[in-house]
Amino acid sequence: MSGWSPVNAWLPLIVVGTSLVAAAGIFLLKEHRHGLRTVFNLSAAVIKLGLVIWMALGVLDEVAFETRYVLVDGVSFILRADPLGIMFTGLSSLLWLFTTIYAIGYLEDAPNRSRFFGFFSLCVASTVGIALAGNLFTFFLFYELLTLSTYPLVVHRGTEKAMRAGKVYLAYTLGGGAVLLLGVAGLHALVGEIEFAAGAGLRDLDTALNPVLTLIFVLLVIGLGVKAALLPLHGWLPTAMVAPAPVSALLHAVAVVKAGAFGIVRVVYDVFGIEFTWQLGLLQPLAWLACATILYGSIRALWQTDLKRRLAYSTISQVSYIVLGTALFGPVGTVGGLVHLLHQGLMKITLFFCAGNYAETLGVHRIDELDGTGRRMPATSVAFTLGAFGMIGVPPLAGFVTKWYLGIGALDTGMAWVIAVLVASSLLNAAYFLPILHRIWFRPQRAPWPDEHFRDCRDTHPWLLLPTLATATFSLAAGLLAGMPFSPLYWAEVVVLREYLP
Amino acid sequence: MGWLDLLLGLTLVTTAGLALASRDLFRAVVMFIVFGLLMALVWVRLQAPDIALAEAAIGAGLTGVLLLDTLGYLKRRFEPTGTNERRPTPTTEGRGDAR
Amino acid sequence: MSTDLFFAWIGVALCGLGLFGFIVHHHLMRRLLAFNIMGSGSFLLLVGLAQDGRGPDPVPQALVLTGIVIAVASTALALVVLRRWYRVSGESSLPEDV
Amino acid sequence: MSRVIVAAIASLIITIALALAVLERPTPTLSLPNLASTAITPGEAGVLHPITAVLLEFRSIDTLLEIAVLLVAVVVALALREAQPDGADRMGLDNPLLHAVVKLLLPLMLLVAAYLLWAGSTRPGGAFQAGAVLAGCGVLLRLAGTSLHGLERPRWLQGGRVLGLLVFVSVGIPPMLAGRAFLDYPADLAGGLILLIEAALTLSIALALLSLFRLAPPQSDSPAFPDRRKRRRA
Amino acid sequence: MSGGEALSWLLVVPLLAAIATLLAPGRWRGWGSLAALPLLWLAFTPVLAAFLHQGTLTTPLGGWSPPLGIALIGDGLALGLVGLTLGVFSLCALFAAADPDPEDHSHLWPLAWFLIAALNGIWLSGDVFNLYVGLELLGLAAVGLVALKGSAEALAAAMRYLLAALLGSLAYLIGVALLYAAAGSLALADLAQLDGGDTTVRVALALMAVGLMLKTALFPLHGWLPAAHGGALPAVSALLSALVVKASFIILLRLWLALDADPLAVVAAQAIGLLGAGAVFWGGWMAWRQARLKYLVAYSTVAQIGYLFLFFPLITGTGTDAARLAWDGTLLMLFAHALAKAGMFLAAGNLVRAVGSAQIADLAGVGRFRPLSLLSFGIAGVSIMGLPPSGGFTAKWLLLQSALASGQWPWLIVLMGGGLLSAVYVFKVLRHAFVEGPTRDTFRSPPTAAELAALTLALSSLVLGVAAHGLLALMRPDALSAVLEGAG
């Protein structure tokens, strides 16, 4: 590790800190200082993205970036940039930039913007902290901070409905947090500090402890599964749809569900180690759970009439692809899961941006109101179409890459039935996305738009449109250019090659 | 320990009992003052003249006067001054504050 | 039995008696009487036990002196609060005692 | 009824526990009386009476805090009285006989108080007893209906009440500045300083006890309003 | 061990300040007290420096060493607590002095200074009778502070508090009498030589424990607390919840460690732990049911006190690791709760003043107008809930580890369940404050200094979560190592 220098030891902390500082600054700003707040927001986002790119290049060169600090005896606070962490950090910082731009446009003239953007920044700080956490304890720290910082965003509108959603959200996430804490504390008591590293020595333990370790694994997966919206624990996600669109985008594509899925990846690969998890016989049930969630989410999505709720169930289904990839015992499947971490983020955020655009520009919320929107808002509709095709897995879009790798991975492991699940899921995806596309492009407008704004814009307000187009472009490029360096696939392969090749 | 001590001790306990059991509050306070004076005697028996002095002056004397003084106050009638919302509300658990 | 020990036993009795009175009564004056009786019991216990078989001991005696002043201060404070409470509420016991 | 049962049980438990404790008590190895007398005999302590030595030498911090306790009670009494005066009910008894008795008794009591204070260093007596007797004088005077004009000025009264603690603390500070412990008076001055402290304490204790008494000089003559603050807010 | 003369200043300064405020006219007392605060810190700094340099400090007061005299002992625990006291008091004083409505509250200042003198005395004293005097001073000053409001409700609360405090100290005093009979000394150091299995010692410790639990308001002896803490002025509530109830707890902790050699102690400790568990659940449940903001916060104190008492089952008869974790966890919990609860009470005071109502239901819309106060409340709430990153979380983590290390898994349920329950009542407040809708337009503004005081306390409870290492190292005592040898 030749590139070791004092700056490198601070860099992970600085990356987390940029959003923290931004949050503090925004909290202190008076409500009406819009200009200054925008400067704060955007400069923090840009600086962070720059730092992350720098760190990413360093990581490719195998430079170590690590902040380490003893919290109390036997427990350290560790932030470290490893390839997997950088992958998630990069996604969050990139999407944060776009979401911030989008949110500034979306919330124009809305009340409580200081509070909103303050917690928004805090939320991103937590996500980046989760990504860079170097041990389970640090991970948990930021995982709970994420819960706390997203609550005010969920209830932002302050309506009775939002409050109820907030209550449900808290009940799920705090409960999940408690279970996770039990797991983390139990593991800590058993083996001491657990740093993230492939097969962190658990397999050297006495085999008599295997039942305890299994229990701990279950606790961890339950705790993480709440945020990842795994099957019986997904209830909060559709309810949380009352939040403003940028929040939904953040919850679904970047922060919350991803944090859960990412945590499961960490637990399987970096805490228990994939081989040891396999030996404990835990991968198979995890795969079943993921498949069940995939199918369940897709089926429920079919019946939703509200656009955002349909997207929400679609998220439940899609996030489990990541879990499925993790549960496949083999490098190819792993690549599939990891790459979907990025792909799903790019595609889903595009879809939510579009849903937000429809709602803000035309007041359209329900799917049957979408007729003819393609003509009124062509750019948004193209972005939506790209996202939807990606989700279905039409080649050569991003979703296809994921499903291809997952399928090959499943064959490698001898779990051919997974292919059936993938196919079924793709059909279901098509079944709930294609009718929407049909309405957008091929049906004439039926009634006047419920609540039209921005009449003088060809499509919608540029602050809303530009981020949408940008993420759409990225998700397109992720599929088309999958073979190029620095594509999501490339990163996923780096991660697997470096660390997880069993 | 002689008969005198025994007598003193038993009287002391009896006075204490009376101070606690009297129905009439005034009688109870008087009994308490007697109790204080007897305590002073006990301290003499325990070779503690300093405490005996203090007990007679403070324990029995001043405390007694304070108690009698307050007793006189409690005999007087006042209109309860709190308005309705300021009336002493039960502040114990399960009442008052429970929604 | 020495005089000291005997009065220590009297102290035990007073403590028991005082505690009974403290809990059983509602009227705040009576509870204060009980408190003072219990206090006297503890003073007897302190001096009596310390001196039993060893002659006068100035240390516990001095402690009792301190204790007596503290007791009178506490009692006086309680009476002040009691009078004020009686004045605003017309009650001489606490509402719904625990 | 349940209250009686609770009380009986609690009382029974404590009685039995204490009885066991008294019966089974071990013999202590330390003997403080011996230590105290060896400390007093060579005149290391400024006083000869062991109890005064314990109160104002060995355990002087106890005494100091105890005066603070008394002051706290007084502060609370004043705070509540100012918030809502008791009203002008002077329990003065216009009884000529009482007047005569008080006139006779008073000089005697003052003398007793002075003696107790002075005696404290060698014989039973001391600031507490003297202060209590002095307070008793005040109580008697008020009972007899005599007004204590000199004491009706709050500033002086307050000063007098605080004086004991102030002197006590102030006397304790110089040793600290000289690098010794708090309250560690120089041996040759100890006797005098302790007498000074005791004198101040006597005055303060007397005034403090008197202030706790309802017949004490009122702080103000405002008539009894139910509660001034509430009225203003209403 | 010497060089401790400076310790006495920690007592002398508050006493002098109390005298000065008594003599000063009412309107000068608040700002005068603020001016005296730097002196207090000035007294503390050299003491802390000396401690870091040479370890535990002692000073024999009056030049008389124990057992005849009384010594102040500045060990790590004591100095940590003194620092906590100074910090919390400084901010509460700032809050109270900034109060634009100083009506009739000038008596607060002498009482508060006596309270601080009593606290410092209790932290530093090594003599059980001196501790009794300190407890009385503390109790009466606290009762006075509660009574200060003068309303019927405040008076009833003060009276109830006074009765509990008196009974508690009496039980403690009887224990002192028995200990003196058994040991012939009142110094804690001498009492440690006693045989813990002796009946007299057992009875003494039991009585003292019950008395101190009553003063600490451990369930089910907590009945006096909610009205006293909930009904007082905000700065007073903060001081009482943050510091006063901790004093009796610390005395119990010290006694327990000094007299630990009793085989029955394990059983007793489990029983105390059960009461603590009861406190956590009952306090949390009652907090949730409150309609008034400050009463909710007060019941939260009842619940949080329960965590402290898990110390006893976790340290008694368990192994070295578990005991060390329990010690660290309990003290960190104490500190975190002190800071967070003080911040919470001050923030609650600001919120109540802003909306002009004590009811939680009236908080709607306050988040928009007093975001800083609400934020302070929320941040303090994070620590109270035991969520990261906060002192409350780190403390809970240590206690969890201790419970796991000693194999006492039932306490896990208490720790986890209590955390969730506290989330329920903290978010109940936040939920009402976030509600938008037809809200009032008339919000009164608390002074900026008052808002900043609350925020500072709340933030420091967060910072404690990541800066606990040094503090805990400072407070880890020699006494503990002795206990650990016994246990190991």
C12 at interface of B, judged by CB pairs closer than 8 A? no
Tell me the nearest-neighbour CA distance from E329 into chain D, angstroms: 33
Q: What is the dihedral of CA E409, E413, E414, E415, to 10 degrees?
A: 90
Q: For residues E408 and E427, is the Cβ–Cβ distance under 8 A? A: no
Instruction: Specify the residue for token string 């008791």.
Output: D86
Decide if B73 and C83 are in contact by the 8 Å CB cutoff.
yes
C17 at interface of D, judged by CB pairs closer than 8 A? yes
Distance CA A500, CA A335 (A): 10
Distance CA D91, CA D20 (A): 49
Residue D44 — very low, low, confident or very high, per pLDDT cuts 50/70/90? low
* Token representation of residue A159: 């309506």
| DSSP code per residue over E1-17 | ----GGGGHHHHHHHHH
Size of interface A-E (CB pairs under 8 A): 88
Please state whether the peptide bond connecting residue E389 to the residue before it is cis, i.e. omega within 30 degrees of 0: yes
D20 at interface of E, judged by CB pairs closer than 8 A? yes
Distance CA C81, CA D3 (A): 24
Distance CA E111, CA E100 (A): 20
Residue B94 — very low, low, confident or very high, per pLDDT cuts 50/70/90? very low
Q: What is the pLDDT of residue E1?
A: 41
C22, C81, C88: residue with CB nearest E162: C81
| Mean pLDDT score of chain A | 87
Please tell me the least confidently modeled range out of A260-269, A282-291, E95-104.
Answer: E95-104
What are the extents of the domains in chain A?
282-502
* Token representation of residue E245: 């109830």
Distance CA E344, CA C27 (A): 36
E143, E160, E174: residue with CB nearest C77: E143
Residue D227 — very low, low, confident or very high, per pLDDT cuts 50/70/90? very low
Please report which residue ranges of C1-98 form alpha helices under DSSP H.
3-24, 28-51, 58-89
Decide if A72 and E468 are in contact by the 8 Å CB cutoff.
yes
Q: What is the pLDDT of residue D231?
A: 37
Decide if C50 and E136 are in contact by the 8 Å CB cutoff.
no
List domains and CATH numbers for chain C.
Answer: 3-89 (1.10.287.3510)
D134 at interface of B, judged by CB pairs closer than 8 A? no
Check residue A77 and report its DSSP letter.
E
Distance CA A182, CA E400 (A): 8
Percent of chain A clearing pLDDT 90 (strictly above)? 30
Tell me the nearest-neighbour CA distance from E474 into chain B, angstroms: 40
Instruction: Specify the residue for token string 């608040």.
Output: E30
Q: For residues D117 and D126, is the Cβ–Cβ distance under 8 A? A: yes
Decide if C46 and E176 are in contact by the 8 Å CB cutoff.
yes
A touches D (3+ CB pairs < 8 Å)? no
Q: What is the pLDDT of residue C53?
A: 84
Q: Which residue of E has its CA nearest to A70?
A: E469
Q: What is the pLDDT of residue B78?
A: 63
Distance CA E217, CA E172 (A): 15
Tell me the nearest-neighbour CA distance from B78 into chain E, angstroms: 14
E89 at interface of B, judged by CB pairs closer than 8 A? no
Q: Which residue of A has its CA nearest to E416?
A: A178
**For the segment E120-163, what is each residue's pLDDT rounded down to a tens digit?**
999 999 999 999 999 999 999 999 999 988 888 999 999 999 99
B70 at interface of C, judged by CB pairs closer than 8 A? yes
Distance CA A224, CA A421 (A): 23
Please state whether the peptide bond connecting residue D226 to the residue before it is cis, i.e. omega within 30 degrees of 0: no
Q: What is the pLDDT of residue E441?
A: 65
**For the segment A199-249, what is each residue's pLDDT rounded down to a tens digit?**
556 777 777 888 899 999 999 999 999 988 888 888 888 888 888 888 888
Element (H, E) at B62: none
Q: What is the pLDDT of residue D220?
A: 37
Q: What average pLDDT score do residues C32-37 get? A: 96
Backbone phi and psi for residue C55, each to the nearest 5 degrees, phi listed first: 80, 175
Chain E hits for D159, Cβ within 8 Å: 23
Q: What is the pLDDT of residue D95?
A: 66
| Mean pLDDT score of chain B | 79
| Mean pLDDT score of chain D | 79
Q: What is the pLDDT of residue A216?
A: 93
Q: How many CA atoms lie within 13 A of D233 on its CB side?
A: 12
Please tell me the least confidently modeled range out of B76-90, D200-214, E396-410.
Answer: B76-90
Q: For residues C67 and C45, is the Cβ–Cβ distance under 8 A? A: no
Tell me the nearest-neighbour CA distance from D33 into chain B, angstroms: 14
Decide if E431 and A189 are in contact by the 8 Å CB cutoff.
no
Decide if B79 and C68 are in contact by the 8 Å CB cutoff.
no
E153, E289, E291: residue with CB nearest B91: E153
Q: For residues C64 and C47, is the Cβ–Cβ distance under 8 A? A: yes
Decide if D82 and E104 are in contact by the 8 Å CB cutoff.
yes
Instruction: Specify the residue for token string 């045989």.
Output: E195
Q: What is the dihedral of CA D3, D9, D15, D21, to 10 degrees?
A: -130
Instruction: Specify the residue for token string 């690590």.
Output: A66
Q: Which residues of chain E have pLDDT under 70?
A: 1-3, 100-104, 261, 437-441, 478-488
Decide if C28 and E156 are in contact by the 8 Å CB cutoff.
no
E309 at interface of B, judged by CB pairs closer than 8 A? no
Chains that touch B (3 or more CB pairs under 8 A): C, D, E
Distance CA A417, CA A410 (A): 8
Please report which residue ranges of B1-99 form alpha helices under DSSP H.
3-21, 25-45, 49-54, 63-75
Residues 6+ apart with CB under 8 A from E302: E217, E219, E222, E225, E226, E279, E282, E283, E286, E287
Element (H, E) at A6: helix A6-28
Residues in chain A: 502
* Token representation of residue A261: 């899925």
**For the segment E33-71, what is each residue's pLDDT rounded down to a tens digit?**
999 999 999 999 999 999 988 888 999 998 888 889 999
pTM of the model: 0.92
Q: What is the pLDDT of residue E160?
A: 95
A touches C (3+ CB pairs < 8 Å)? no
Distance CA D213, CA D81 (A): 11
B touches C (3+ CB pairs < 8 Å)? yes
Residue C12 — very low, low, confident or very high, per pLDDT cuts 50/70/90? very high
Tell me the nearest-neighbour CA distance from B85 into chain C, angstroms: 12
Size of interface B-C (CB pairs under 8 A): 144
Q: Report the candidate in E167, E202, E168 with the shortest Cα–Cα distance to residue E182.
A: E202
Decide if B50 and D226 are in contact by the 8 Å CB cutoff.
no
**For the segment A288-343, what is each residue's pLDDT rounded down to a tens digit?**
999 999 999 999 999 898 888 899 899 899 899 999 998 888 888 888 989 998 88
